[in-house]
Amino acid sequence: MKDLSIVLKEVGRERKDIFMSILFGFLAGITAVGLFASSGYLISKAALVPPLYALTVMIALLKMFGLARAVSRYGERLYSHRATFSILSNLRVNFFEKLEPLAPGIYQKYRSGDLLARIVGDVESLQNFFLRVYYPPIVLVIVFLSTIAFTMFFSVYIALVLVVGLMLTALVVPAYFALSQRKIDSRVREQRGELSTEVTELLYGFRELKLYQRLDEKENLLKASSQKYIQEQEREGVQLIFNQSVNTAVSLMVSWVVLALGAYLVTEGQFDGLFLAMLVMISLTVFENATPMAALPGNLEESRTASNRLYSVVKEAPAGTLEPITSLPESQALSVRLKELTYQFEGEEQQAVSNVSFYLPEGSKTAIVGPSGSGKSTVLMLILKVLQASEGDLQLGGQSIKHVKDEDIWSKSNVVLQDNHFFYGTIRENLELAGTGFTDEEYKNALHQVELPHFDLDSEVLERGENLSGGEKQRLAIARAMLKGQRLWILDEPTSSIDALTEQVLYERLFEQAADDTLVLVSHRLTGLEKMDQIIVMEKGEVVEAGSFNELMAKQGYFYEMKQIEKSVFG
């Protein structure tokens, strides 16, 4: 249960809804028992020809039980689902609280696109924990205990039989199946992963497979893998049905024992036959509550895995800041110095950034260029302290960033990333990230600066900015950075989706605003770099060349060659 301790805590917050779910669940269960008990008693009593009023009372009782049962089932469903969704909300907030201090470094570290989708999926699957694992056993036990207490009035022996039945159906059988469930679950997941790889390879690698005549081979692999996956699913499905059937069989046999024992006691004269039908009906009904217990092991296992996987992501402590903590000076251009900086991503053999040193004086403009995968963006992440170098030192304004809080660096820089996020909301709300307190006039002006004068501040932006083009998103991101107005500019290919003409205009305005600021620009294109103070050329995580445009061109080295190729490239 250690894996689920956080989840349990979050579940516990919804005390009222939990209480109501259990209360109504109990009422629904006990009224059903009452309904069938009274109908059994009614018939028996009727057989003995009682006075009519007794019958009327019984029938009224019957109706009441029927209505109460339907209403309490409704209440149970309502409250349990409400609780489930509230818990989901708690889990999201709780997880976010844990993830937030680790971001964005953790995103860089995992470098896997599906991390977030997996997180969302895992949180979502935890909602079953309350609905299918947490409260049904509680309701079950209370209903059983009440029923057993009631039965005690009539026959201790039969009550004992029910106790044994409860132990079997709610504890022994599910516990036994829980053991076998673990293995099956992991096998299904494994096979699914395997099949998913095969399908992806076949579809994405189709052209290669076809041309190299490996398609038939791959098709057979895929079929075999699908067959295996389906077999595991089938095994899982059959196992679940088997669990349910065994549980049903056990509960039916308990009712059988109740009948046999009751009948024996009646013939021995130790028990009034009038109540025999009632007790048999009770036993048949009360075990209906035990049916969900068969599916419990599967759900428990699923929740356990999800919670485990989820919280393993956020296990590590956030990157600390060394004492004494210094803060960067306000509104002042900063110098940037990298001293033999090295960074290696987890699980990768090669260093992403290896022994990199350079110095950017305050107010200077620098471009970092190089082929994709050469470590340009990683350098930016290191400057922003999103990633922390394993070796070497990095200084901002002469202070080692080991003593500077990451939030401090971020609040004093204007950052445009390759992939800038836009949220569901309006253009204004998305610009407001740069800071509140701007007038509409200022927002409008910022939009003008990035050549988006036609944008309305109140137009809707969809999730992830889906309704904006790549170029529009980049321009809005630049507008956001310009509004922020800090003195350190970190730009990672900010104009890759913007046409050359607009790009030129944007850069002019940007450099105008940043005239006295320190600016670092990662660029794919080699055009327009003539006015940079320094160009740093990277390859395979190392700096291969550095200098001004003219110096590098005169040198006829790596940069010169790249420039030659770019010149000859056709669109």
Partner 1 sequence: MNVLNPYLKQYKGTQIFLVATAILTGLSIIAQAYLIVLAVDRVFLQGHPFESIVPILGWLALALLLRAALTFASGRAGVRMASKVKQDFRRRLLDKFSKNPVQASLQGQSGQKVSVMMDAVDEIDSYFSRYIPQVIQTSIIPLMILIIAFSQHLYTGLLMIITAPFIPLFFIIIGIKTQKKSEEQLDKMAAFSGRFLDTLQGLTTLKLFGRAAKQKDAIRESSYGFRDATMDVLKVAFISSLMLEYISMLSIGLIALELGLRLVVFESVTFFTAFFLLVLAPEFYLAIKELGSAFHTGRGSMGAAKKIIDELEKDDQPVAWGERQLDVSNPPVIHLKEAGFKYGDKGFELTGVSAEIKPYMKVAVVGRSGSGKSTLLHLLAGLVAPSNGSIEVEHNPLSNYSEEAWFNEVSYISQKPYVFSGTIAQNIAIGGGKQAAREDIIAAAQKAGISQMVSSLSQGYDTPVGEGGRGLSGGEKQRLAIARAFLKNPSIILFDEPTTGLDLKTEQILQASIKELSKKSTVITVAHRLHTIQDADLILFLDDGELKGAGTHEELMDKESDYRSMVSLQQGGNSA
Among 30, 143, 195, 401, binds partner 1 (CB under 8 A): 195
User: Do residues 474 and 420 touch, judged by C-beta distance below 8 A?
Assistant: yes
Region binding partner 1 by CB under 8 A among candidate stretches 251-259, 313-321, 395-403, 515-523: 251-259
Helix H or strand E segment including 353: strand 353-360
Residue 110 CB, nearest distance to partner 1 (Å)? Answer: 12
* Residue 78 exposed, middle or buried by CB count within 10 Å (0-12, 13-18, 19+): middle
Cα gap 447→430, rounded to integer Å: 12
Beta-bridge partner residues of 400: 395
Q: What is the DSSP letter of 45?
A: H
Give the number of residues written for the chain.
Answer: 571
Phi/psi at 103 (nearest 5 deg)?
A: -80, 155
- Of 448 and 464, nearer to partner 1 (C-beta) is 464
Instruction: Examine residue 464 and tell whether it contacts partner 1 (CB under 8 A).
Output: yes
Region binding partner 1 by CB under 8 A among candidate stretches 45-53, 142-150, 161-169, 467-475: 45-53
- Of 167 and 203, nearer to partner 1 (C-beta) is 203
Instruction: Examine residue 164 and tell whether it contacts partner 1 (CB under 8 A).
Output: no
Prior bond to 104 cis, omega within 30? Answer: yes
Alpha-carbon distance values, 270 to 48, 195, 352 (Å): 19, 64, 85
* Residue of 468, 477, 367 lying closest to 420 (CA atoms): 477
Alpha-carbon distance values, 359 to 172, 335, 396 (Å): 70, 8, 10
Q: What is the DSSP letter of 334?
A: -
First to last CA, the chain: 59
Residue 508 CB, nearest distance to partner 1 (Å)? Answer: 13
Block residue for tokens 């170098």: 389
Region binding partner 1 by CB under 8 A among candidate stretches 52-60, 139-147, 158-166, 353-361: 52-60
Among 9, 12, 19, 50, binds partner 1 (CB under 8 A): 50
Region binding partner 1 by CB under 8 A among candidate stretches 139-147, 174-182, 245-253, 327-335: 245-253
Helix (H, G, I), strand (E, B) or coil at 392: strand
Among 9, 12, 19, 120, binds partner 1 (CB under 8 A): 120
Cα gap 335→557, rounded to integer Å: 27
Residue 397 CB, nearest distance to partner 1 (Å)? Answer: 19
Site for partner 1 in 319-358 (CB under 8 A): 348-350
Site for partner 1 in 302-321 (CB under 8 A): none
Instruction: Examine residue 553 and tell whether it contacts partner 1 (CB under 8 A).
Output: no
108 contact partners, CB below 8 Å, separation of at least 6: 381, 386, 387
Instruction: Examine residue 460 and tell whether it contacts partner 1 (CB under 8 A).
Output: no
- Of 78 and 163, nearer to partner 1 (C-beta) is 78
Instruction: Examine residue 437 and tell whether it contacts partner 1 (CB under 8 A).
Output: no
Instruction: Examine residue 59 and tell whether it contacts partner 1 (CB under 8 A).
Output: yes
- Of 442 and 453, nearer to partner 1 (C-beta) is 442
Among 15, 156, 206, 440, binds partner 1 (CB under 8 A): 206
* Residue 75 exposed, middle or buried by CB count within 10 Å (0-12, 13-18, 19+): middle
Instruction: Examine residue 532 and tell whether it contacts partner 1 (CB under 8 A).
Output: no
Q: What is the DSSP letter of 132?
A: I
User: Do residues 37 and 281 touch, judged by C-beta distance below 8 A?
Assistant: yes
Instruction: Examine residue 107 and tell whether it contacts partner 1 (CB under 8 A).
Output: yes
Site for partner 1 in 253-282 (CB under 8 A): 253, 255-256, 259-260, 263-264, 266-268, 273-274, 276-277, 280-281
Site for partner 1 in 469-528 (CB under 8 A): 480, 484, 500, 504, 524-525, 527
Cα gap 131→299, rounded to integer Å: 10
Instruction: Examine residue 42 and tell whether it contacts partner 1 (CB under 8 A).
Output: yes
Region binding partner 1 by CB under 8 A among candidate stretches 57-65, 141-149, 452-460, 511-519: 57-65
Instruction: Examine residue 463 and tell whether it contacts partner 1 (CB under 8 A).
Output: yes
| Site pattern 62..101 for partner 1 (x: CB under 8 A) | xx--xx-xxx-xx--xx--xx--xx-xx--xx--xx-xx-
Cα gap 498→503, rounded to integer Å: 6
Among 149, 252, 515, 554, binds partner 1 (CB under 8 A): 252
Residue 450 CB, nearest distance to partner 1 (Å)? Answer: 17
Helix H or strand E segment including 476: helix 470-484
Among 1, 179, 211, 317, binds partner 1 (CB under 8 A): 211
Alpha-carbon distance values, 32 to 36, 249, 287, 479 (Å): 6, 21, 11, 65
Residue 103 CB, nearest distance to partner 1 (Å)? Answer: 4
